[in-house]
Chains A and B, each alone.
Chain A
Amino acid sequence: MKRNIILIITGLCLALWPLGGYQEGIVILMCINCIAAMGVSVLTGFTGIFTLGHAAYMALGAYTTAIMTVRYGIHWLPAVIAGGLMAVLIAWLIGIPTLKLTGDYYAIASIGLGEAIRLIIENWQSFTRGSRGFPGIDPYTTRIMAVVIFILLAILMFNLLDSRLGRELKASRDDSIAASLMGFNTPHSRMKALVISAFYCGIAGSLLGGYMCFIQPSMFDMMKSTELTAVVVFGGLGSMSGTILGSAAITLIMEYFRDISQYRMLIYGLLLVVIMVFRPEGLMGSHEIWDLLKSKEAVKKDA
């Protein structure tokens, strides 16, 4: 309960605090990045499946929404939801053959499939306009709309993680053999994690399209996928609030230090190595931010 109140208050501040046009843009970008990062976090942080292809789901969401709103004049809300669902559909199809794989096999398959989706979008000129990009998208992503969607998805996500499903995912991450002996259908729970994460990334992609008004396949290349995963690692594998904080912090840092944008990827790389060497559990470890508010005994009892 305390958690939902914190989230709603954060949302109200983000949505209503008087800001200039430039800062508003940053808030929107922050919300979008956080939604995508939450998606990757479910899969990488909570289910232990390392992915390097999630930008492709963002691309699917972005293109679905863009084509629906521009070509067919559909209202943005159903189009954004359809964007998420399209990502879910493709993720489900991809998940059937690949989720039998574990560890590195899946990581490599995810690179391959992510690139394949991007290549299909790039080569399907008649439908997606290929690498020239897709211009003229309505700027439907307003600040309030982005914040509302972000907060709704965040509340949904935290409740999901607290539910049976969340425990199922964590169990199959920590020891999939033990989890399956306890009666969990681990391939099934992995599939659920993938589908949920694709939904979040798809929505994030749709919102990005509405914010930029222009999308291009090269926006969703492997670099973007790596960025998504790097942010989750930075925030803490197994901490959703850490993911959100990390993602917001990195968006802000990158935005305020635009002058050094050429070092951006170098910083990401260094961050990944340094975190892995010195603090592999990331910013928050597997703790959530509200754990800090509880007494130590209560945390232990929960864990």
Chain B
Amino acid sequence: MIYLAFTFSTLIQQIINGLSLGSVYALIAVGYSLVYSILLFSNFAHGGFLVVGGYACYFLLTQLGYGVAVSMTFALFASGLTAVITERLAYKPIRERTSITLYLLIASMGVNIIIENLFVITVGGRIRALPQNTFPTGVFNLMGGVTLSASDIISLITAVIFLGLLQIFLNKTRWGLAIRAAACDIRTAGLMGVNVTFLISLVFFVAGVLAAVGGIFLSVRYSLYPQLGSITTKAFVAAVIGGLGSLPGAVVGSLILGLAEMLTAGFISSQMRDLVVYSLLVIMLLIRPAGFFGKTISEKI
């Protein structure tokens, strides 16, 4: 009986942890999926944007002594700007010359390596932690020894707020309409009078901002180091599980992944976490390669 109660509280605890982790994945996966829906290539530099956001926040907080709100705002802006600059310098020339998305994919891989190693060289590969008082650290005790930490609640709420804002932006504004149109057919959207260059920059800015939010939460939850961006691999997996290019799919996939990871850690072994994630990917690809919400891949001639 006691054992049962124990496993039940572990279950609840791991579900809370899983949702909190999943919400961070969702922030990253949605930005990545958004870029994919417009340009149809996997932006592997997404992890780099996340690292830029994390480090910007860290240095603003610790070295320059700004408050949490100011630091976060600037960090989001810095990451968004990095994304836009990346697009202009690396992707735009390729995009204009050829329609082969493989080239964009390789270039984005390169950008990711550049950003990661720039941080290794300039600030060092040392693991850093955001100051403890960045977010409230209170812990609430629920029934049966289940704890709910303030940072879990904050990351969940922030994720919901940002995803909600994104939803409003995409559905209620003119530029949101343009982005949705471009996701259907970017050439036609351009012919209809949408400024495609600006639209793509805007999409990258939004993706960068969302990645930075995820990056800051990850560096609070774990720690901050130049290779933190490699965690985006899991957000990519989440996006594939949900269906590449689909925003609701990215959210659902992320939550599934977060839950699966934390439940594995709680009931099997924390070493198996990543293995479970990748097995989920393989199972999904076997059953439904297009993901939950993806367009079917089969092409018609």
Docked pose: A25 CA to B236 CA in angstroms: 39
The secondary-structure label for the interface of chain B is: helix
Q: How many chain B residues touch the partner (CB < 8 A)?
A: 49
Q: How many chain A residues touch the partner (CB < 8 A)?
A: 42
Question: B244–A104 contact, CB under 8 A?
Answer: yes
User: Which of the 9-residue segments A4-12, A62-70, A112-120, A139-147 touches chain B?
Assistant: A112-120
Is A52 located at the chain interface by the 8 A CB criterion?
A: yes
Question: A98–B285 contact, CB under 8 A?
Answer: yes
Is B15 located at the chain interface by the 8 A CB criterion?
A: no
Closest chain A CB from B110 CB (angstroms): 3
Contacts of A269 in B (CB 8 A): 109-114, 116-117
Across the interface, name the chain A residue whose C-beta is closest to B230.
A222
Q: Given A104-B244, A276-B94, A276-B103, verify A266-B275 contact (CB < 8 Å).
A: no
Is B107 located at the chain interface by the 8 A CB criterion?
A: yes
Contacts of B106 in A (CB 8 A): 50, 229, 233, 272, 276
Docked pose: A280 CA to B301 CA in angstroms: 28
Is A290 located at the chain interface by the 8 A CB criterion?
A: no
Question: A119–B275 contact, CB under 8 A?
Answer: yes
User: Which of the 9-residue segments B63-71, B136-144, B276-284 touches chain A?
Assistant: B276-284
Contacts of A229 in B (CB 8 A): 106, 109
From the candidates B40, B111, B240, name the one contacting A109 in the complex (CB within 8 A): B240
Docked pose: A146 CA to B278 CA in angstroms: 35
Is A265 located at the chain interface by the 8 A CB criterion?
A: yes
From the candidates B103, B105, B120, B274, name the one contacting A104 in the complex (CB within 8 A): B105
Is B49 located at the chain interface by the 8 A CB criterion?
A: no
Is A83 located at the chain interface by the 8 A CB criterion?
A: no
Question: B94–A280 contact, CB under 8 A?
Answer: yes
Closest chain B CB from A106 CB (angstroms): 9
Closest chain A CB from B257 CB (angstroms): 11
Closest chain B CB from A128 CB (angstroms): 14
Closest chain A CB from B80 CB (angstroms): 20
Question: A112–B282 contact, CB under 8 A?
Answer: yes
Contacts of B277 in A (CB 8 A): 112
Is A102 located at the chain interface by the 8 A CB criterion?
A: yes
Docked pose: A271 CA to B271 CA in angstroms: 35
Q: Flag A96-132 by CB within 8 Å of B: 1 or 0 each.
A: 0110111111011101110110011001000000000
Closest chain B CB from A224 CB (angstroms): 13
Is A77 located at the chain interface by the 8 A CB criterion?
A: no
Is A74 located at the chain interface by the 8 A CB criterion?
A: no
Is A182 located at the chain interface by the 8 A CB criterion?
A: no
Is A293 located at the chain interface by the 8 A CB criterion?
A: no
Question: B114–A263 contact, CB under 8 A?
Answer: no
Question: A108–B109 contact, CB under 8 A?
Answer: no
Docked pose: A269 CA to B285 CA in angstroms: 30
Question: B233–A112 contact, CB under 8 A?
Answer: yes
Is B217 located at the chain interface by the 8 A CB criterion?
A: no
Q: In residues 243-290 of chain B, which contact A (Cβ within 8 Å)?
A: 244, 271-272, 274-275, 277-279, 281-282, 285-286, 289
Closest chain A CB from B280 CB (angstroms): 9
Q: Flag B51-66 by CB within 8 Å of A: 1 or 0 each.
A: 0000000000000000
Docked pose: A268 CA to B42 CA in angstroms: 19
Contacts of B244 in A (CB 8 A): 104-105
Q: Given A50-B106, A108-B237, A280-B103, verify A101-B271 contact (CB < 8 Å).
A: no
Docked pose: A272 CA to B107 CA in angstroms: 6
From the candidates B112, B281, B289, name the one contacting A112 in the complex (CB within 8 A): B281
Closest chain A CB from B204 CB (angstroms): 16
**Given A269-B114, A269-B116: 6 more A-B contacts, CB < 8 Å:** A52-B109, A123-B271, A265-B117, A276-B107, A277-B107, A280-B98
Chain B interfacial positions (CB closer than 8 Å to A) = 36, 40-42, 90, 93-94, 97-98, 100-107, 109-114, 116-118, 120-121, 230, 233, 236-237, 240, 244, 271-272, 274-275, 277-279, 281-282, 285-286, 289, 297, 299, 301
- Nearest 4 pairs of A and B residues by beta carbon: A272-B110, A269-B113, A269-B114, A116-B278
